[in-house]
């Protein structure tokens, strides 16, 4: 029960911060900032769904290594993707159970019709356009789901991820593999 209360408290604080950011700057938050492996990513708020604490996965055989398994998120069976592993930015060593316990699952917005959640190593809060000093288009050859690359006031770069485009990406949808590939 305490986990449910902690999640409600977290979601309440996140909603309060969103409202406070809107009132203070007159601008709405545009992104949820997360860290996945070594990547700093921005998920458009209208693409992201609910945020859940890490929960145990039921492994699925014959899937790619980045597909962690399935879990029950508030009564919905969802696939869980290690986004860092999918993008090639995963830590060199596999995450321990203790490290996974600190992770979060960011579900896709139900409007995207994708029963999937992405593993985020860390939530970094909400971001508005005013928090960035530079913006550049995705580099040549970048995946179609890469949006702009933003640089914040501290010089840190954040890659926007279009979750709608990701949910339609052929490599993201191809979770299956033969037993020799996994």
Cβ count within 10 A of residue 1? 5
pLDDT-based confidence at 27, cuts 50/70/90? low
pLDDT-based confidence at 25, cuts 50/70/90? very low
**Which domain CATH number covers 159?**
2.40.50.180
18 domain residue, yes or no: yes
62 domain residue, yes or no: yes
- Give per-residue pLDDT as tens, 33-48: 999 999 999 999 999 9
112 domain residue, yes or no: yes
164 domain residue, yes or no: yes
- Give per-residue pLDDT as tens, 46-73: 999 999 999 989 999 999 999 999 999 9
180 domain residue, yes or no: no
Beta bridge pairs of residue 118: 81, 106
27 domain residue, yes or no: yes
- Give per-residue pLDDT as tens, 125-168: 999 999 999 999 998 999 999 999 999 999 999 999 999 999 99
Residue 15 has pLDDT above 60, yes or no: no
Average pLDDT, the chain: 88
Query: Which residues form the domain of 28?
Result: 2-173
* Overall domain count for the chain: 1
Q: Which helix (H) or strand (E) holds 148?
A: strand 146-152
pLDDT-based confidence at 91, cuts 50/70/90? confident
DSSP symbols for 16-68: HHHHHHHHHHSS---EEEEEETTEEEEEETTTEEEEEE----B--SSB-TTEE
The reported pLDDT for the residue numbered 22 is 45
User: What mean pLDDT is predicted for residues 76-88?
Assistant: 95
161 domain residue, yes or no: yes
Residue 92, φ and ψ in degrees, nearest 5:
-60, -40
146 domain residue, yes or no: yes
């Amino acid at each position: 029960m305490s986990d449910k209360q902690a999640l409600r408290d977290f979601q309440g604080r996140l909603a309060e911060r969103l409202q406070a950011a809107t009132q203070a700057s007159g601008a709405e938050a545009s992104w949820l900032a997360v860290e996945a492996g070594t990547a700093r990513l921005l998920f458009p708020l209208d693409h992201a769904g609910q945020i859940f604490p890490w929960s145990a996965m039921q492994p699925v055989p014959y899937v790619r290594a980045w597909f962690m398994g399935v879990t029950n998120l508030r009564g919905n069976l969802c696939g869980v993707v290690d986004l860092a592993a999918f993008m090639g930015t995963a830590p060199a060593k596999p995450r321990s159970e203790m490290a996974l316990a600190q992770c979060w699952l960011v579900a896709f917005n139900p409007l995207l019709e994708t029963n999937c959640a992405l593993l985020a190593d860390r939530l970094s809060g909400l971001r508005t356009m005013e928090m960035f000093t530079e913006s550049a288009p995705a580099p040549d050859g970048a995946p179609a789901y890469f949006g702009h690359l933003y640089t914040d006031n501290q010089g840190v770069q954040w890659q926007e991820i279009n979750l709608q485009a990701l949910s339609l990406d052929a490599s993201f949808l191809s979770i299956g593999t033969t037993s020799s590939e996994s």
